[in-house]
A and B are shown apart, each in its own frame.
Chain A
């Protein structure tokens, strides 16, 4: 069995969670009930077990309605329970062991045994642990997030964005009807029965929350009473019926998303815009009330504190009623501008047809330092997604970025990134005869490699690297498929499956053959460190012949100790991000090899798509800590390059050069690629017209995406010295935004190292 610690933190968590409302003893009892139910359903179908367990959790986990809430639905999360992602709770029937251990401290010592009993039970039953036992391979494949490995893997169902159109059109009763029709048409099965039971659970939760609104009414002001009455009426309406008003639609969407355990929401303008527009038109809502309701949604999402998720996407092609959707978009833009929350990750899709005022409002919000919206160019992405995912145009129009920026097709595809690969570590292993210079451990996994002394040309070196990459790509696809297999053995993700095409039609859960497009993604790290390393090796070793390859390897392994001159030559070799043809061509060559390598394996395995995403959270820094010095001049333990951007400080040729470099890659080969850029307010706000035109050129040249941080020169440095004065300073790390002063020191350093333009 592979060595691993079940207590390893499973995800990036910068935002601190709100503690549960439930008392520790109540939490313990609930977890015991959950565990007993799970145990009692041993041997029953996974669907029966799932719904029985869900009934233990809901509505018990619902918190009270907060005084400012304009619709209902807040949940506690416990160390044991059911979920689909690692950012809140865990995956399937889960136990988050490090959180359970920490939970023990909240209890009196004589209750600790009860926790220990739970811990022991879940060691055998936690889904992710079961997966790890099968998937991990000592020294080669590690678990999320263990930075000693070149490849880390997990089981999760991240990034599900549901078909809320179906929910709005049918309502809960309509869904019941559709399921019953299919039950009759096809054969009845556990999935259908459990799905119907899930919808009943949904209705019970509405009743439970309606009770909570009545509790909240006690002693309330007349205005608040009116809000709570509206909330109660909406809950009692949507428990069965399809929504008529914006408030009902919002309530239905939100409650369903909570029960499904999804943390990315998708095209809310498309789903909710028509309800909002109609209410405004009919005078049922004022613009101010609409603003407050959206602000309440923003607060609800922020309070879930998922750090790298919470996507709301507006704009773009393929919306049913663009005019109504844009009414939602305009109000949402104001809310994003005024809230300054790190979540939701507010995302604007746009193309050449997008109204100018929306683009301007987006730039205003960005210019205010909100870091939102992030910008996605449909003119590039729609045709790119068609090719990358092998879908038609109408389908591709429904692409949505989730989490750090991976794409799925809303309501139609699974695209969870269950693999992360450190391309730079693999280059170092390839050059060190299979050994990772960071810890001296052989991680070649048996791939035959030549020692550096016998590598006589750059081409031989590159092909050796590619050979080792190929092996790690094989491990990637195996690990991804295994994650689906293990999840499917254990659970059906009922609430998610009901709203994903074509689960109801086929009578199958998402991972059981129900999902229309089975995809997946691999997060790649160190892309640019690799290509800059290769460019530098080519120049310094093979062209200028300043040093032999083996001497280079040795000097770099010593972290340049005693040979800083060599480090300088490596650092001064052409670097990506400067519109330098040599460096950018190499970056593209590496990109194409990796992107095609992963994609081809997905196609061969029968998936609709398996794509790389160049979209990191802060793992570029965390993995960098455990990655040896590299041949681009990067020091041992230093952060790696963020997403598709240059290594900090390497791009010295101005913003246009950087933007030109960013457009070098074929977007039709990846499933999301992130581009960060930092501007001073003087440039971005003082010369807005120029900036707007500059972005337009970038997007016309094939720029797919852009995320902008606005800071004054020296401001980040001042914030490090005096954090209390900068609690409001937001930065775009990569696939998420954060309050700068809440980040760890070396992550702050990585952000400061990025070139500031203007």
Chain B
């Protein structure tokens, strides 16, 4: 498999929050977790999903006859998508005058991905940047090690944003090709983490420990979510965990509402509407705590 194919949800060029330097971030489809605050919910399923933007839809009904699954219907002047019928074939996408439909991802080969990524080679060289894989969970992609090794061969630095909620064998296999691991440490309480995200804390921490033992460059990140992990005792406990694992590089990501519109496009309920957006200033107390404990803390990317 020298040119594996992936479901890519988007490629962001000139990114500066996802690893050192200027980077190109490739977002993949599919994640084993289900965090309620996920700002890319369309990346959670392992297959492309249909997004329907109600703000662009004028309920003209053009799309209805094009759906082979009869998943689309007009009712009371509004367009309804029956998610139980939709197979994400995408036939509705090109016929919508307003551009209301899109599929969450398209298939791209590693060659095609790298062709885009390499357009910014000069910027990587100047800034120490490179390729960042994100998602979704990049390590759930078949062939990701090929993409990473090709990126290394092309002289790029590589960074992967991962949940680390997977077998260490996978992580071990990519060790030679990954310069920076950005790993989410979402909570220090085993039960809360499992309930809210589906992640196994022991698996995550054991993977982080093994990566450290194997000499990997690990940065831990915590999305700070009001009511979930934003109280100082919880953060202190998460920081303790990080220190116990031997990691000192730490990033706090203040909660934001930027993902909200995507839930509506997916026809899914969004449960965090009531939460306040946090600013970097809101993080100052937590950052100060972490620094006192010996962590090197950055806020926001």
Binding site for B on A (CB under 8 A): 563-565, 567-569, 572, 579, 653-657, 660, 683, 687, 690, 693-694, 696-697, 700-701, 757-758
**Residues A694 and B22 in contact in the complex (CB < 8 Å), given A564-B97, A655-B14, A656-B14:** yes
**Residues A701 and B122 in contact in the complex (CB < 8 Å), given A568-B97, A690-B127:** yes
Is there an interface contact between A683 and B122, defined as CB atoms closer than 8 Å? Answer: no
Q: Is B96 among interface residues, defined by CB-CB distance under 8 A?
A: yes
In the complex, what residue of chain B is closest to A691 when comparing beta carbons? B16
Top 10 A-B pairs ranked by shortest CB distance?
Answer: A654-B13, A654-B14, A564-B97, A565-B97, A656-B14, A655-B14, A693-B126, A656-B120, A697-B122, A693-B127
Docked complex: B116-134 residues within 8 A CB-CB of A: 119-120, 122-123, 126-127
Cα(A672)–Cα(B260), bound, Å: 44
Could you say which residues of chain A place their CB within 8 Å of the CB of B13?
579, 653-657
In the complex, what residue of chain A is closest to B100 when comparing beta carbons? A568
Is there an interface contact between A654 and B12, defined as CB atoms closer than 8 Å? Answer: yes
Could you say which residues of chain A place their CB within 8 Å of the CB of B12?
654
* Interface size bracket, B side: 20 to 34
Residue in A564, A683, A697 whose beta carbon sits within 8 Å of that of B123 in the complex? A697
Q: Is B35 among interface residues, defined by CB-CB distance under 8 A?
A: no
Could you say which residues of chain A place their CB within 8 Å of the CB of B99?
568, 572
Q: Is B21 among interface residues, defined by CB-CB distance under 8 A?
A: yes
Is there an interface contact between B119 and A657, defined as CB atoms closer than 8 Å? Answer: yes
In the complex, what residue of chain B is closest to A683 when comparing beta carbons? B16
Q: Is B170 among interface residues, defined by CB-CB distance under 8 A?
A: no
Is there an interface contact between B127 and A654, defined as CB atoms closer than 8 Å? Answer: no
Least CB distance from B61 to A in Å reads 13
Centre residue among A563, A653, A757 by max chain B CB count within 10 A: A653
A565-B96, A653-B13, A690-B22 known, 16 other contacts, Cβ within 8 Å: A565-B95, A568-B96, A568-B97, A579-B119, A654-B13, A656-B13, A656-B120, A656-B123, A657-B13, A660-B120, A693-B123, A693-B127, A697-B126, A700-B122, A701-B122, A757-B14
Q: Is B289 among interface residues, defined by CB-CB distance under 8 A?
A: no
Docked complex: B88-104 residues within 8 A CB-CB of A: 94-99
**Can you report 15 A-B residue pairs in the complex whose CB atoms are below 8 A from each other?**
A563-B97, A565-B62, A568-B98, A653-B13, A654-B15, A655-B13, A655-B14, A656-B14, A656-B123, A657-B119, A657-B120, A687-B16, A697-B122, A697-B123, A758-B16
Centre residue among A563, A687, A758 by max chain B CB count within 10 A: A687
Interface string of B7-26 (1 = CB under 8 A from A): 00000111110000110000
Least CB distance from B278 to A in Å reads 15
Docked complex: B1-51 residues within 8 A CB-CB of A: 12-16, 21-22
Cα(A693)–Cα(B123), bound, Å: 8
Could you say which residues of chain B place their CB within 8 Å of the CB of A567?
97
Cα(A693)–Cα(B20), bound, Å: 13
Binding site for A on B (CB under 8 A): 12-16, 21-22, 62, 94-99, 119-120, 122-123, 126-127
Cα(A757)–Cα(B14), bound, Å: 9
Could you say which residues of chain B place their CB within 8 Å of the CB of A696?
126
Is there an interface contact between A660 and B16, defined as CB atoms closer than 8 Å? Answer: no
Could you say which residues of chain B place their CB within 8 Å of the CB of A757?
14
Cα(A325)–Cα(B98), bound, Å: 56
Could you say which residues of chain B place their CB within 8 Å of the CB of A572?
99
Least CB distance from A755 to B in Å reads 11
Could you say which residues of chain A place their CB within 8 Å of the CB of B62?
565
In the complex, what residue of chain B is closest to A696 when comparing beta carbons? B126
Could you say which residues of chain B place their CB within 8 Å of the CB of A579?
13, 119
Least CB distance from A161 to B in Å reads 35
Cα(A567)–Cα(B97), bound, Å: 8
Residue in A653, A687, A694 whose beta carbon sits within 8 Å of that of B126 in the complex? A694
In the complex, what residue of chain A is closest to B12 when comparing beta carbons? A654
In the complex, what residue of chain B is closest to A579 when comparing beta carbons? B119
Cα(A184)–Cα(B98), bound, Å: 77
Is there an interface contact between B14 and A660, defined as CB atoms closer than 8 Å? Answer: no
Cα(A323)–Cα(B96), bound, Å: 63
Is there an interface contact between B122 and A690, defined as CB atoms closer than 8 Å? Answer: no
Could you say which residues of chain A place their CB within 8 Å of the CB of B95?
565
Could you say which residues of chain A place their CB within 8 Å of the CB of B120?
656-657, 660
Least CB distance from B261 to A in Å reads 15
In the complex, what residue of chain B is closest to A758 when comparing beta carbons? B16
Centre residue among B15, B62, B123 by max chain A CB count within 10 A: B123
Could you say which residues of chain B place their CB within 8 Å of the CB of A697?
122-123, 126
Centre residue among B14, B98, B120, B126 by max chain A CB count within 10 A: B14
In the complex, what residue of chain A is closest to B13 when comparing beta carbons? A654
Cα(A696)–Cα(B22), bound, Å: 13
**Residues A690 and B96 in contact in the complex (CB < 8 Å), given A656-B120, A657-B119, A701-B122:** no
Least CB distance from B294 to A in Å reads 25
In the complex, what residue of chain B is closest to A660 when comparing beta carbons? B119
In the complex, what residue of chain A is closest to B21 when comparing beta carbons? A690
Least CB distance from B83 to A in Å reads 24
Could you say which residues of chain B place their CB within 8 Å of the CB of A758?
16
Cα(A660)–Cα(B127), bound, Å: 16
Least CB distance from A615 to B in Å reads 25
Least CB distance from B103 to A in Å reads 14
Could you say which residues of chain A place their CB within 8 Å of the CB of B16?
683, 687, 690, 758
Cα(A579)–Cα(B96), bound, Å: 27
Least CB distance from A281 to B in Å reads 38
Cα(A398)–Cα(B163), bound, Å: 58
Cα(A568)–Cα(B21), bound, Å: 36
Cα(A564)–Cα(B120), bound, Å: 35
Could you say which residues of chain A place their CB within 8 Å of the CB of B98?
564, 568
Could you say which residues of chain B place their CB within 8 Å of the CB of A700?
122
Is there an interface contact between A656 and B22, defined as CB atoms closer than 8 Å? Answer: yes
Cα(A305)–Cα(B75), bound, Å: 59
Least CB distance from A703 to B in Å reads 11
Cα(A740)–Cα(B66), bound, Å: 46
Could you say which residues of chain A place their CB within 8 Å of the CB of B94?
569
Least CB distance from A655 to B in Å reads 4
Could you say which residues of chain B place their CB within 8 Å of the CB of A656?
13-14, 22, 119-120, 123
Could you say which residues of chain A place their CB within 8 Å of the CB of B127?
690, 693-694
In the complex, what residue of chain A is closest to B15 when comparing beta carbons? A654
Could you say which residues of chain A place their CB within 8 Å of the CB of B122?
697, 700-701
Could you say which residues of chain A place their CB within 8 Å of the CB of B21?
690
In the complex, what residue of chain B is closest to A565 when comparing beta carbons? B97
Least CB distance from A38 to B in Å reads 59
Could you say which residues of chain A place their CB within 8 Å of the CB of B15?
654
Cα(A688)–Cα(B86), bound, Å: 47
